[in-house]
Structure 1
Amino acid sequence: MDQIDPTAPPSGTGCADCDATGSWWLHLRRCAACGHVGCCDSSPNQHATAHAHGTGHRVVQSFEPGEGWFWDYVEGEFADGAPLAAPTAHPADQPVPGPAGRVPADWMTHLH
């Protein structure tokens, strides 16, 4: 699939857009085409989906430790994908939700 570049490194260890705005996330997704790390659809800002819609990069992989699944936003279903460049997840000691210090005490009320 031309939507997956196994050589593209992740953009960082957290949601690039949340980091830029000082926000927080629940879970992370990594664009399989360019490596952009965004927050999941349960997160307040849903940056991974926004990235997919804005760029046409339709496939993401979970960026959570121990998870390796791919999701195709166009098909709305799980997809197959080639192994991506390391690292394949955020650091195991990074809290969920995260990052530490930016998650409000009432974070569960902000989820979708």
Structure 2
Amino acid sequence: MTGVLDPHLTMVRPVRPRTPAGCEECLRLNTPWVHLRLCLTCGHVGCCDSSPMRHARAHAAYQGHPIVQSLESGENWRWCYVDETFV
């Protein structure tokens, strides 16, 4: 499945990062992260799959919010956790 064909894109909303300083859960737990991902349904900021806690993926699974965008400077891509593909 690619880009415009991904049915999960209907869940994308205009959002602002809820915790622009870092991963919401890692900040609370005082744990490290590698890269940040922004949930495009609710604005949750979570850590990537290379991070020890993988909070972005956990949020997507628990909340049912499948699409994230990279919050890293210079990166402009989105990922669907359900379809495991760039969108």
**TM-score, normalised relative to structure 1:** 0.68
Aligned length: 78
Richer in helix (by share): 2
Q: CA RMSD in A?
A: 0.7
- Give, in whole Å, the separation in 2 of the partners of 1:20 and 1:61: 22
Where in structure 1 do 4 or more consecutive aligned residues deviate above 6 Å? none
1:49 and 2:57 aligned: yes
Q: Secondary structure at the match of 1:18?
A: helix
Tell me the percent identity: 50
The letter of the residue matching 2:16 is P
Q: Secondary structure at the match of 1:2?
A: helix
The letter of the residue matching 2:60 is A
- Give, in whole Å, the separation in 1 of the partners of 2:27 and 2:16: 17
In structure 2, stretches of 5+ residues that fail to align are 1-8
**TM-score, normalised relative to structure 2:** 0.86
